[in-house]
Amino acid sequence: MLKNIPPILSPELLKTLCEMGHSDRIVIADGNFPCESVGKNCKVIRCDGHGVPELLDAILTLFPLDKYVEKPVTLMQVMAGDPVKTPIWDEYKAIIAKHDERGAEAVGEIERFKFYDEARTAYAIVATGEKAVYANVMLQKGVV
């Protein structure tokens, strides 16, 4: 056991976060995200049964966001005409504000298929059991 490590972070996820370098990205994916096909060229870490907000909070406890880019946190935009609401994004912004002085200003959005393309180049994808839709979030690592 280690002190001050959020228990939701598995040894595999901790190792991955440690291996990542400046500008590497990690995706925390909702339950609908095609993790295995999009992540066939990167690490896919299973965290089934957990939601994105609790994993985001735990990861940001250890993971510095990139200060050299304007938006180190990226969300998947809702498709035009899709009547879906995304209240989970407000949770994300509150969590980010706890860990980064930029708060919601650190968060950007990109079009759904561009998000998939960007995710294909991520260092890792964390597969969760999150049921909210458009709940995927990509983080770009900074320096300590």
Catalytic residue annotation: 22, 66, 116
129 contacts 140 by C-beta, under 8 angstroms: no
φ, ψ at 104 (rounded to 5°): -60, -20
Q: Give dist(CA 61, CA 43) in Å, integer.
A: 21
Question: What distance, in Å, lies between the first and last C-alpha atoms of the chain?
Answer: 23
95: tokens are: 């969590």
107 contacts 39 by C-beta, under 8 angstroms: no
